[in-house]
Amino acid sequence: MVLSAPGDPRRDLRADCARCIGLCCVASAFAASADFAITKEAGLPCPNLRRDFGCAIHDRLRQLGFPGCVGYDCFGAGQQTVQVTFGGRDQWWTPRIAAPVFAAFAVLRQLHELLWYLAEALTLAPARPVHADLRLAFGEIERLTRAGPDELARVDPVAVRESANALLLRVSELARAGFHPPGADHRGADLIGADLRRTDLAGASLRGACLVAADLRSAVLTSADFTGADLRGADLRGTDLAGSIFLTQSQLEVAKGDRGTRVPASLTRPAHWTGSTPRHRGPRRPAAARRG
């Protein structure tokens, strides 16, 4: 990862499967469910993984019962593990190296996800008071991602996450401050199937909220915090998400959207979001929240 180059470091935190060895398709365990059509033990290759480490059903994952694969993002930890921690693709599959590779990947996946959020936090102007702390945290975690397998094995990702999360929570508060009335607190809320059409959620905390199959069409989501929210099957058609914060590509991939859905500049509209929906008139709440 070349994070010292100018520009947004998130460009180096995107999966590059061509430089990986299908780690997520081997290291992870699956249980047959709505997300995976099969059960698979950790450490065994998925039967759909080709010898060149590509997925044989890549274009039909949803149709063939693997939406869980669509919603997975390694944040570039796969290629980091293979190319940096273990120095290339040639050593793959020797029993001596497989376990340490999987262990390193598990740690790096968590570190890279934190780097993604910290990098986004550094783009948020209201978070300026903590930018120095954010840069410090980013630099320390980025250093860990370049460590060798032995040092990585000693990393406690839970402790690293707790420390970074405290900072990210502060960023969320700063980014969501100043809305009148204040944004709703839906942190960890069960909003499965909720009808939130045209609801004013500006400045809301949706951290860890379960929004499975929720209808968010034309909801107002300026500065709404989506950290860890479950958006499987959520209806985002015609919704403007461009100003929301801490949304990830994998959250979009499992949701429903269309050409009318606006996404943050760091993300891309999923390929399956086709069609268009007429926009609703405006928020249902008479007075939309506004920054004071």
Task: Considering only CA atoms, give the Rg of the chain.
Answer: 20
> Is residue 3 a contact residue for ligand SF4 (CB under 6 A)?
no
In angstroms, what is the minimal distance from the CB of 98 to ligand SF4? 16
Closest CB to ligand SF4 among residues 57, 177: 57
Using CB under 6 A as the binding criterion, the count of chain residues that bind ligand SF4 stands at 8
- Measured CA to CA, the distance from residue 7 to residue 202 in angstroms comes to 28
Residue showing tokens 């693997």: 66
For residue 3, how far is the Cα from the chain centroid?
Answer: 19
Task: Tell how many helices (H) and how many strands (E) occur in the chain.
Answer: 8, 2
The contact pattern for ligand SF4, residues 26-55, with x = CB under 6 A and - = no contact, is: --------------------x-xx-----x
Choice from 15, 69, 194, 234 touching ligand SF4 (CB under 6 A): 69
- DSSP bridge partners of 252: none
- Measured CA to CA, the distance from residue 226 to residue 30 in angstroms comes to 25
Give yes or no for a contact between 219 and 196, defined as CB atoms under 8 angstroms apart: yes
Choice from 9, 23, 66, 209 touching ligand SF4 (CB under 6 A): 66
In angstroms, what is the minimal distance from the CB of 69 to ligand SF4? 3
In angstroms, what is the minimal distance from the CB of 74 to ligand SF4? 11
Query: Contact residues for ligand SF4 (CB under 6 A)?
Result: 25, 46, 48-49, 55, 57, 66, 69
